[in-house]
Structure 1
Amino acid sequence: MPAGDIDFTVQTLGKRTVTSPLAPLLEARRTSAHTVEEGDRILFDDTLSSFERREEGHLPSLEAAGPRQKIFFDPSKTRVGIVTCGGLCPGINNVIRALVSELTTHYGVRRIHGFRSGYQGFIPEYGHDVVDLTLESVDGIAAQGGTILGSSRGQQDIGQVVDCLERMGISTLFVIGGDGSMRGAQAIAAEVGRRDRPIGVVGVPKTIDNDIPFLDQSFGFQTAFSEATRSIRSAKVEARSAPGGVSVVKLMGRHSGFIACYAALAQNDADFVLIPEVPFVLDGPGGFLECLRRRVDTQGHALVVAAEGAGQELFTEADAEGGLVDASGNKRLQDVGRLLRQKITEDFAAHGRELNLRYIDPSYVIRSVPANPYDSVYCTRLAHAAVHAAMAGRTNMVVGRWRRRFVHIPIELAVGTRNRVDPNGDLWWSVLEATGQPVSFGEESESIEVPAFGGQ
């Protein structure tokens, strides 16, 4: 979809009539190259050719994040809810802590509630308690992995969720989660709108795979690929320490290979990187297995880094185990790690080659660690932006960073597509240069269309 056809308009609950507690600070703030006035917008395009292709006077732009002079909610009468949903990711606790700190310290909100175990926490039949979040209760949680509120997957009854918000007098709900969780937040906002209730829904999008569009980067991603380098380093030692040594490291990345690419470049030990965006052929002349054997012949060992979603074109529906979709409604992936182990073992045996195969899958170890300093800062700034947006009455939106500026993004856009590695982009080209692997294995693979606003 061309950017000019995208509606970047963010929904609001109503007119802002309350003077913000931050107004005195904003009045003293001077304009500079690093500030964005609250009425200004962030241009979508960043190249001259993009500007030239636009119709005259039409420049797509996003609403700038940040504090406003006037806000919608009266902080003294505001009650806030926070929920964390989906899989774990480094930095969730950092977001929770920063939300509570900003709401309490700068806006004076005194009633902040955390809902346990994701969207289950709103449903009476689960019996989960609600925790009061204070500065004292969130002190030190940033050093912990996971989420102090717990999490869960799967859909819940949206009507019951909104019933709970109304019973508790919640003014704004902050949702920290991935695309499935954001679709739930979108449904909550829609139900609130049908009931004509002044309840805001603001998302802080979480995906360790870095696959949310219109974001420079998702929180937790830097920590994830940094931790992944440890496994790559160990796998390299294992491979080169044994005759015919081959190590396979499977990293997270259901539909996008960003972690595999960045981790491989950071450690620069990988001989092959396999990602979902670039289909590959296993057998035959020029196939992956032949290239792997040649690399082992040349240097005595080889290291393969594979994203979990790589090679799905090699499976059929008959290979599916446990159904075609998971509890979150996502397509259930087949195990490319198991396939690679099997095929590599069979291929080396068929060619009479010695093989010492090592397989490492650090996924659950990586996603449960605390955020590194970069992600810790990023999470804090995202949380601040989310609070400013919520207090200003923004709803049905997520916060993110685009072109290094913090912005508001309608949830519909955040869940409408995926950010993916562009097979023709400079990131994948850097991977090819670093590994020395061929552009394609076997017959030329069909190219994948990547939207202009996605991919790196």
Structure 2
Amino acid sequence: MGCFPFLKKYDHGSKFFGCGPPRHFPYYPQFHDQFDLAHLCDQVEVEPIESPYKTKSRGDVNGHASNMHHMYVHDNDCVLIKVVHFGSETSVGVQYDDNGEWKFKPIWARRAGPRAWIYFSPHMVKAAIVTCGGLCPGLNDVIRQIVISLEVYGVKSILGIQYGFKGFVDNNHLPIMLTKKLVQTINMSGGSFLGVSRGCPPLEDIVNKLEEWNVNMFFVIGGNGSHAGALAIYNHCAKRKLKLVVVGIPKTIDNDIELLDKTFGFDTAVEEAQRAINAAYIEASSAFNGVGIVKLMGRQSGYITMYATIASGQVDIVLIPEVPFVMDGKYGILDYMKKRIQKNGICVVVIAEGAGQEQLDNNGGMDASGNPILGDVGKWFTNKVKEYFGKAKIPIDAKYIDPTYMIRARACNSSDHIFCSILGQNAVHGAFAGYTNFTIGLINTHYCFLPIPMVIRRPRMVDPNSIMYHRCVTSTGQPNFNNPK
């Protein structure tokens, strides 16, 4: 991090304004450097100016410096990343750090929100927004709120990059000029107003276009792969000493971004997935020896499957990528399904798309976003079930439901509408504060600015020893489907 010698010049307002990003949190000596944020001042020399952003919630406070603390977040505000002080290393859900230590250590992240001092003159700002990867409920809400928040600051030039990163090199789909009027109602629809795609063209081409178009705020809405692309773009911009900040907004319906409480679209996905499970239950319960099988999203992380199972309350077996299982034998799934059908005349199974992949014959490999290419575990599982009961001469009526694209393409629910709006606003606040190479996240119910490298280190996965997973299998009553030693 660079030094900020200009802070003394503005120190007269620091009581209320929190002028300029400090190197460390002075009151928290155990603050971890890896959670410090890159800043525009690391790349170019720039002095802060007073923010034009005003809130309406406190009335007219213009000219009253003593009330400024009601309007802005101080740069020294921070949020604890971990809040549970475990009493024993055997306690359920105990968390270990990278060094294998389990004892509590305070680790802080910088609190998100508007700052009193900004590093861009709004009338000079040219912003760009891109949506990457697959669809997710809430994309249009985030786009809309970024545009509206930029206009509140006074920004007049906002580009919408079409069809992901490919929009930088596709001359058939040039950027769209975005305004509040244009995006006012896009949150009422699913999908992405700008379009999405997977993969990334040469980084030099992207940075060249950003420089050619005079973009100085770049907002990337995407998952782990898109954030990795944003990190690479930031590194290129930093080498060129461009006055440009790169901001991520984490988008993954699987909820697999590390450190975060949740990502946008997840609540909507769970709600819609629960409907699919309930439909499978109705189908199965209305048939003789009915079997309902639902495949849900989750390549590496089983969060949607786990939460939708609890929400429904009608599931007998839940299978996620983090927990291996066996199909055959005394402790296998098929034998357990037979017992459930013989006892209750019905069995409902919910399986994440990434579960049991080691048992499938597939070619593997990666898609354009760097995600593993999976075999269709839902169809494989359904065929196994039909084959088993056919050989056992037990008649069943099996129904298979895959609601993947219905979930991805729908507009989000009220919870995600609110969540997306706050994420979009804070992305703009962070950009004007001069932070770069960061993303917005919800940590312990508080919104934070987090360095992109820290959230893409590895995917967030369900901990089979966590309280939440125990709650899930308690709700199903299922046993362990691993062969005991």
TM-score of the superposition, structure 1-length normalised?
0.91
1:217 aligned residue: 262
CA–CA separation in structure 1 for the residues paired with 2:443 and 2:482? 38
Structure 2 residue identity aligned to 1:154: G
Render the CA deviation track for 1:17-50: whole Å, top value 9, x for unaligned.
Answer: 1111126679635569xx9533221122212349
CA–CA separation in structure 1 for the residues paired with 2:70 and 2:221? 31
* Range moving further from structure 2, 409-418 or 50-59: 50-59
1:62 aligned residue: 109
Aligned residues of 1:112 and 1:134 also touching (Cα < 8 A): yes
Gaps of 5+ in 2: 1-29, 55-60, 90-96
RMSD: 2.4
2:485 paired with 1:441 = no
2:50 aligned residue: 19
2:84 aligned residue: 47
1:9 aligned residue: 36
2:276 aligned residue: 231
CA–CA separation in structure 1 for the residues paired with 2:244 and 2:419? 26
Structure 2 residue identity aligned to 1:13: L
2:437 aligned residue: 396
1:452 aligned residue: none
CA–CA separation in structure 2 for the residues paired with 1:250 and 1:55? 35
Given the superposition, is the C-alpha separation of residues 241 and 212 from structure 1 closer, same or farther in structure 2, using an over 3 Å criterion?
Answer: same
1:89 aligned residue: 136
2:75 aligned residue: 38
- Structure 1 residue 361: Cα displacement: 0.2
* Range moving further from structure 2, 375-384 or 335-344: 335-344
* Range moving further from structure 2, 365-374 or 10-19: 10-19
Aligned residues of 1:283 and 1:442 also touching (Cα < 8 A): no
2:385 paired with 1:341 = no
2:57 aligned residue: none
Structure 1 residue identity aligned to 2:299: R
2:362 aligned residue: 320
CA–CA separation in structure 1 for the residues paired with 2:116 and 2:381? 57
2:323 paired with 1:278 = yes
- Structure 1 residue 103: Cα displacement: 0.6
1:194 aligned residue: 239
- Structure 1 residue 6: Cα displacement: 7.0
2:292 aligned residue: 247
CA–CA separation in structure 1 for the residues paired with 2:66 and 2:233? 35
2:187 paired with 1:146 = no
- Structure 1 residue 239: Cα displacement: 0.5
2:342 paired with 1:300 = no
1:428 aligned residue: 469
Given the superposition, is the C-alpha separation of residues 192 and 308 from structure 1 closer, same or farther in structure 2, using an over 3 Å criterion?
Answer: same
305, 325, 328: which one pairs with 1:260? 305
Render the CA deviation track for 1:145-178: whole Å, top value 9, x for unaligned.
Answer: 0010001001211100010001110011000011
CA–CA separation in structure 2 for the residues paired with 1:424 and 1:16? 49
Render the CA deviation track for 1:417-437: whole Å, top value 9, x for unaligned.
Answer: 111111011111111111110
| Bigger-Rg structure (1/2) | 2
CA–CA separation in structure 2 for the residues paired with 1:49 and 1:187? 37
Structure 2 residue identity aligned to 1:111: S
Structure 1 residue identity aligned to 2:151: T
- Structure 1 residue 59: Cα displacement: 3.2
Correspondence 1:99-114 to 2 at 5 A: 99-105=146-152, 107-114=153-160
CA–CA separation in structure 1 for the residues paired with 2:342 and 2:106? 55
CA–CA separation in structure 1 for the residues paired with 2:460 and 2:66? 38
SS at match of 1:162: helix
Aligned residues of 1:144 and 1:370 also touching (Cα < 8 A): yes
Given the superposition, is the C-alpha separation of residues 196 and 235 from structure 1 closer, same or farther in structure 2, using an over 3 Å criterion?
Answer: same
Q: How many residues align?
A: 434
Given the superposition, is the C-alpha separation of residues 7 and 82 from structure 1 closer, same or farther in structure 2, using an over 3 Å criterion?
Answer: same
Structure 2 residue identity aligned to 1:112: I
1:203 aligned residue: 248
CA–CA separation in structure 2 for the residues paired with 1:416 and 1:55? 19
Structure 1 residue identity aligned to 2:421: T
Render the CA deviation track for 1:37-89: whole Å, top value 9, x for unaligned.
Answer: 33221122212349999999973211111111111111110100000000000
CA–CA separation in structure 2 for the residues paired with 1:56 and 1:428? 22
- Structure 1 residue 444: Cα displacement: 3.7
2:316 paired with 1:290 = no
2:3 aligned residue: none
CA–CA separation in structure 2 for the residues paired with 1:179 and 1:44? 20
Q: Percent of aligned positions with the same letter in both sequences? A: 41
Structure 2 residue identity aligned to 1:326: D
